[in-house]
A and B are shown apart, each in its own frame.
Chain A
């Protein structure tokens, strides 16, 4: 592989003209920055498609009764919204950020396996084209929830095999991406870039990549069992043949719980990069951050059944999963306190990335606390499958994963494009997102506690006011993201020239290369030992 990376890169130096040449360039590119860009634009597109589905959901829930769509289509909207956002928006956005930033952060010329990298991206458009096409099929799109519980999901119409194969493709893509990231981080670091000198974003991604290769194959197995149950007469989840539908839930959540950490650990890494920059202090408790991330990853494998407390588990099982789940609050708390301690007595400024990172810390903590409430087994029997759960996971995913990704885009956009974004518009985007996001999801706590069930297009009239507020918040949040798209396009096309360091308090290898980052960086490895000595002298 030592020479191939070099050969593959050379023909990209001159950018050929013409539409066909342009398409060929992007189809065949093996450059980590190109592929990072592809991933990011792709995830942005999926974010808007998934977001549009959320608008349909909120339009239907604007008032009690059935007004906008029929219930079957409503269910397929909740299902597809989740699949698009999880596998289409958040995961590819993190992989895109990893592609762009990891090699630059560890002083490598590219990812370790550039051709695999190209392939893992180009699988995705096919996977999602297939998934979206199911909406036009006989029997409608998948509507059994993104968790695809048997036996309900087996009633899906023609969409069923397409759903399964698209999940397979997404799995293959993320596993290849993860292998590439592990190989890059373990084999391609510049001399002197020891493991415990790596930026936190690199660390959290390394751990996330291990989670991905451990659990995506389990999901692939679970959906393959669904496929053979439906078409080949096996009875994994069919009691008539000796199977058990509850077993599906165990296998799914064995994947599903580590999956939620796949969606948040890279966000922890991003916030750990941004807060020190704008607090103008070194990250407090670097080593404890690394160990906390690793503990969270380990614990994520032994808490899955807290998603299914109500299936009828022995008391000992309920207690074990309750306490193990609560234990996760300890390393997560370590992280929150480290971020706060980093800001303590720092010379803070509040540019857009910092605003998003700060709101991440506050709002993610709210989501964490409602998670603790859900972890209490006896209380969970009341909360299970209500809007309280919806409020909880949207608080960890929207101001958690999405805000972190948004912060990362504002933070690194000057490095990618060479232009500063418009700070005023960025702040407008932040405050609009922040206010509308809370308007959307905070009332869901109340309707959930009062017993409003999730995944149902109609509701009792006493929930009408809060749902009205939620829907207005959701429309506002949706429109605010169009402003984000506008800001990004505007910054790509022009703007104030960015310096190499971009931010006054920014440290790390990615800030030593010019802005915009040239097509090839660190073809000659930087001397990290020297930089490290300077930083400490």
Chain B
């Protein structure tokens, strides 16, 4: 075994270093998919998420057109809240600012922290649904048995495609008491 046709170490080392770099880059790429996904969802409205705070320029309502907005409330994983919309539907004119509210009641004798996440359906409409004020922007702290109304102020964009006559705003209420650092 004097004449082995192995390659000199540097050639192998260089190749292995390059391949390891690819491995590291792909591990990073997996994480890069997270912001990438959010950006793509923002552009396409893919996951029904609405924009966060919106300083919608108010051009005034378009009286010639009426859109029905339906309100839905869900409690995730049977969390100990009663959670309901105060208005089930509203007729709105695109461009006008409207206010509605949701009511939540802590059914336990403990302090709770909740977080609501909004979703708009159909997906296409989510790009045209702007909230100027929403209880979903912050986490909501509840005293034992507290019962309160939480307001939402929204504008349906005047550019809403004409074939959309009604849309649904849905909130899911999550119990984040454990992860918010409160007992």
Establish whether residues B47 and A2, one from each chain, have CB atoms under 8 Å apart when the complex forms: no
CB-based nearest B residue for A151: B77
Establish whether residues A221 and B31, one from each chain, have CB atoms under 8 Å apart when the complex forms: yes
Establish whether residues A218 and B30, one from each chain, have CB atoms under 8 Å apart when the complex forms: yes
Q: Which of B1-41 contact A (CB under 8 A)?
A: 1, 3-9, 11-13, 15-16, 19-20, 22-24, 26-31, 33-34, 37, 41
Q: Which one, B81-89, B146-154, B172-180, is touching chain A? A: B172-180
**Interface membership of B46, Cβ < 8 A:** yes
Interface of B is mostly: helix
Establish whether residues A2 and B4, one from each chain, have CB atoms under 8 Å apart when the complex forms: yes
Using A6-B4, A217-B26, A246-B47 as known contacts, say yes or no to A186 and B115 having CB atoms under 8 A apart. no
How big is chain A's contact interface, by range? Answer: 35 or more
Establish whether residues B7 and A250, one from each chain, have CB atoms under 8 Å apart when the complex forms: no
CB distance from B168 to the nearest CB of A (A): 14
- For A525, the chain B residues whose CB sits under 8 A away are 3, 5
Q: How long is the Cα–Cα vector from A277 to B86 in the complex, in angstroms?
A: 76
Q: How long is the Cα–Cα vector from A5 to B4 in the complex, in angstroms?
A: 9
Using A246-B47, A523-B1 as known contacts, say yes or no to A214 and B22 having CB atoms under 8 A apart. yes
Establish whether residues B37 and A250, one from each chain, have CB atoms under 8 Å apart when the complex forms: yes
**Interface membership of B44, Cβ < 8 A:** yes
**Interface membership of B158, Cβ < 8 A:** no
Q: How long is the Cα–Cα vector from A188 to B16 in the complex, in angstroms?
A: 14
Establish whether residues B7 and A175, one from each chain, have CB atoms under 8 Å apart when the complex forms: no
Q: How long is the Cα–Cα vector from A9 to B4 in the complex, in angstroms?
A: 12
Establish whether residues B37 and A523, one from each chain, have CB atoms under 8 Å apart when the complex forms: no
Establish whether residues B29 and A113, one from each chain, have CB atoms under 8 Å apart when the complex forms: no
- For B23, the chain A residues whose CB sits under 8 A away are 175, 179, 213, 216-217
Establish whether residues B19 and A182, one from each chain, have CB atoms under 8 Å apart when the complex forms: yes
**Interface membership of B123, Cβ < 8 A:** yes
Q: Which of A157-216 contact B (CB under 8 A)?
A: 175, 178-179, 182-183, 186-188, 190-191, 213-216
**Interface membership of A478, Cβ < 8 A:** no
How big is chain B's contact interface, by range? Answer: 35 or more
Establish whether residues A1 and B6, one from each chain, have CB atoms under 8 Å apart when the complex forms: yes
CB-based nearest A residue for B44: A314
**Interface membership of A109, Cβ < 8 A:** yes
- For B99, the chain A residues whose CB sits under 8 A away are none
- For B115, the chain A residues whose CB sits under 8 A away are 240-241
- For A216, the chain B residues whose CB sits under 8 A away are 23, 26
**Interface membership of A251, Cβ < 8 A:** yes
- For B172, the chain A residues whose CB sits under 8 A away are 239
Q: Which of B95-137 contact A (CB under 8 A)?
A: 115, 117, 123
Using A240-B117, A244-B37 as known contacts, say yes or no to A113 and B16 having CB atoms under 8 A apart. yes
CB-based nearest A residue for B10: A1
Establish whether residues A190 and B5, one from each chain, have CB atoms under 8 Å apart when the complex forms: yes
CB distance from A182 to the nearest CB of B (A): 6
Using A183-B12, A239-B117, A240-B176 as known contacts, say yes or no to A220 and B27 having CB atoms under 8 A apart. yes
Establish whether residues A244 and B30, one from each chain, have CB atoms under 8 Å apart when the complex forms: no
**Interface membership of A222, Cβ < 8 A:** yes
Q: A2-B4, A225-B31, A524-B5 are in contact. List 19 more A-B contacts (CB 8 A).
A: A1-B6, A9-B1, A179-B20, A183-B19, A188-B5, A213-B19, A213-B22, A214-B22, A217-B26, A221-B28, A221-B30, A225-B34, A239-B76, A239-B174, A240-B176, A242-B117, A244-B41, A246-B47, A312-B123
A-B contact pairs, 17 of them (CB 8 A): A1-B12, A1-B13, A10-B1, A109-B4, A110-B6, A112-B7, A183-B16, A213-B26, A216-B23, A218-B26, A222-B30, A239-B117, A240-B115, A240-B176, A250-B37, A251-B30, A520-B1
Interface residues of A, Cβ cutoff 8 Å to B: 1-2, 5-6, 9-10, 107-110, 112-113, 175, 178-179, 182-183, 186-188, 190-191, 213-222, 225, 233, 236, 239-242, 244, 246-247, 250-251, 254, 312-314, 520, 522-525
- Which 7 residue pairs are nearest across A and B when measured between Cβ atoms? A221-B30, A240-B174, A525-B5, A217-B27, A217-B26, A218-B30, A1-B9
